[in-house]
Amino acid sequence: MKGNKFRILGIAIIVAILAVAYQAYSTSVEEDFNNISRTETYRMGDHYTGQYHRPGCPKLKQTYGGGKRFESATAAELEGYAACKRCDAAGPDEPAK
């Protein structure tokens, strides 16, 4: 009987830890999306993946060996880069306030 109590307690502790970790991860992902600048007009290309990103995109921070700067999304697409779906690199820019 004691074994079952400890097993249940252990499972409850693991579930609590996972819930806290999930909450922290969700907050981190939400902050990544909120920190993406939509007022910048230039884009950065990643040679390794063949994608271009907005300057604040979290995926751009993971690039290796730097990237190439493009003055517009169209310029990046003309050189064969594909738009990042996470930061909506092909989407319109918002005017600076």
Q: How many CB atoms sit inside 10 A of residue 47's CB?
A: 13
Query: Considering the entire predicted model, what is its pTM?
Result: 0.57
Alpha helices (H) along 35-82:
73-78
Secondary structure percentages of the chain, helix, strand, coil, to 5: 45, 10, 45
Q: Each residue of 56-73: pLDDT tens digit?
A: 788 876 666 668 889 888
Q: Which mean pLDDT values do the consecutive 10-residue runs of the chain (97 residues) have? A: 78 89 72 60 85 83 72 90 87 62
Q: In the CATH scheme, what is the code of domain 38-97? A: 3.40.10
